[in-house]
Structure 1
Amino acid sequence: MNTLQWEFFPALSIRPLKHGLSLRYPRDADQIQNKENLLLKKSLKGIGLDKPIPIASAGQPHGDNIAIIKGRDELYFPEADGLLTCLPHILLAIRVADCAALYFYDPHTPAIGLIHSGKKGTNLQIPTKAVRAMNQAFGSKPADLIVQISPCIRFPHYEIDFVSDIIDQLKSCGVEKIFDSGICTVCNLERYFSYHAEKGNTGRMWAVLALFPQ
């Protein structure tokens, strides 16, 4: 089994964060998620993790539920599309293939979040709800948050420009530090998976984020 290759975002390439977005990799058409989970665990050295750490994940039903991780016992949230924590040494992980991964970082608490936001989640205001949840759970001030938007499907390859809605929601909440990759998954199939362009027969990229103080 090969290992995943990663790309990184300058806005998140700072202490005490470990982060990445996995790139397209060769896969079988019927590859099961368990195999992809093993591939993720095998590939974490690529983001600078030399030892295994707990991995928190979400069921991602395209809703607006956001889970707050308070310990290391419960790490899978089947009804959630967002994960938040202030605990170090827990890797937040979501899977995307056209939807946007939103990386949240509050350097003052510190606290982090990882949100799955496509057309449905954005319509349900999950970016707004994530900002509010960061504030309620950790006291994070919107103006202090750093938010990175991953590559995702973009207009005109999709009927709506949900990225602009994400940005509008974040700005309306008072978020000032918004970094959009500006990259369309459909336009870059050699690098990313696209559920839309490949008509569902495709893989997923892993978006990962962890607090890792020295």
Structure 2
Amino acid sequence: MIITENNIKNFQTYIEIDVLEKFGIKILGTKKKYGCIKQKKAHDIINDFSLNNKILVSTHQTHSDNIVFIKDFSQTYFENTDGLLSSNTQAALLVKYADCLPIFIYDEDSQIFGAVHSGWQGSYQEIIIKAIKKIPNRIDLNRIHIVFGVGISCKNYEVQEDFYLKFKNKFPLSIIEQAFSRINNKIYFDNQLFNYYLLKDFGIPEKNIYRNNLCTFDGNTFHSYRRDKELSGRNGGIIYKIRKAD
């Protein structure tokens, strides 16, 4: 399912994606105008987005496939971690990115929600699949919902032959053919589409996967490392619960 403009609320410093609000789940994505999320203090982020009574949980991301399940708030910052899961209604989970793909998760049965940081390394390690598998107890894949945040688009993500071969040697050709394009002897990678077909292949229904056409590189709305190099800041993706599911 493609997220339409009707499902994205645009504000000066951030966007809201509302496709999971029927389940009481809010998803925010900061813009470049908000500044670099890595330079913001947790209490400022809480105040800036009116996350009343929430506790911000974040990580030092290393392009790993390490995922932490948050039960309480004895610790709110995790080293070497690229995914967060929780069912705690006080938790606001933050991932940071500047072209990599933030992916948000919600399970209707357990009411567990989460976010992963999936650059190409996270995607290669199948971090989104590992996050779903980390949901405790038996899960019904028909009740799992996935929302893609804003990452770099395929047309702006040129890669080399060795990158292509690395993926081709691991994943089904049906996924590779959808995720890679060759144009004028150049190779381009669609990280969002790769994860989309990876999730479908795993068993997540197409209707439960929410894609979007936004791009960090295009324009100047979001931070983009490929566009701005070392001058790039980081965007933030935040997911939290606003109420019990309808």
Decide: shared fold, TM above 0.5.
Answer: yes
- What CA deviation, in whole Å up to 9, does each residue of 1:79-104 have, x standing for no partner? 11000011111110111111111010
Structure 1 match to 2:236 = 206
On the 8 A contact 2:216/2:222 being kept in 1, the answer is yes
- In 2, distance between residues paired with 1:163 and 1:211? 24
Aligned: 1:182 with 2:210? no
TM superposition score normalised by structure 2: 0.75
- In 2, distance between residues paired with 1:26 and 1:19? 16
On the 8 A contact 1:4/1:22 being kept in 2, the answer is no
Q: How does 1:88-99 map to 2 (within 5 A)?
A: 88-99=89-100
On the 8 A contact 1:4/1:43 being kept in 2, the answer is no
On the 8 A contact 1:104/1:148 being kept in 2, the answer is yes
Structure 2 match to 1:13 = 21
Question: Given residue 193 of structure 1, which amino acid in structure 2 is its aligned partner?
Answer: H
| Secondary structure of the structure 1 residue equivalent to 2:68 | strand
Structure 2 residue runs of 5 or longer lacking an equivalent are 1-10, 159-188
- In 2, distance between residues paired with 1:25 and 1:98? 16
On the 8 A contact 2:13/2:34 being kept in 1, the answer is no
Aligned: 1:35 with 2:40? yes
TM-superposed CA distance for 1:149, in Å, is 0.4
Question: Given residue 40 of structure 1, which amino acid in structure 2 is its aligned partner?
Answer: I
| Secondary structure of the structure 2 residue equivalent to 1:110 | coil
Question: Given residue 16 of structure 1, which amino acid in structure 2 is its aligned partner?
Answer: G
Aligned: 1:58 with 2:27? no
**Amino-acid identity (%):** 24
Of 226, 229, 235, which residue of structure 2 is paired with 1:196?
A: 226
On the 8 A contact 1:4/1:39 being kept in 2, the answer is no
- In 2, distance between residues paired with 1:18 and 1:211? 6
Q: How does 1:1-214 map to 2 (within 5 A)?
A: 5-25=13-33, 27=35, 33-35=38-40, 37=42, 39-45=44-50, 49=51, 51-134=52-135, 137-159=136-158, 160-176=189-205, 177-189=208-220, 191-213=221-243
| Secondary structure of the structure 2 residue equivalent to 1:55 | strand
TM-superposed CA distance for 1:138, in Å, is 4.9
Indicate the structure with greater helix content.
2
On the 8 A contact 1:58/1:81 being kept in 2, the answer is yes
TM superposition score normalised by structure 1: 0.86
TM-superposed CA distance for 1:15, in Å, is 3.9
TM-superposed CA distance for 1:65, in Å, is 0.6
- In 1, distance between residues paired with 2:233 and 2:143? 34
Question: Given residue 45 of structure 2, which amino acid in structure 1 is its aligned partner?
Answer: L
Q: Residues 4 and 187 (structure 1 numbering): CA distance in 2 closer, same or farther, change over 3 Å?
A: closer
Q: CA RMSD in A?
A: 2.1
Structure 1 residue runs of 5 or longer lacking an equivalent are none
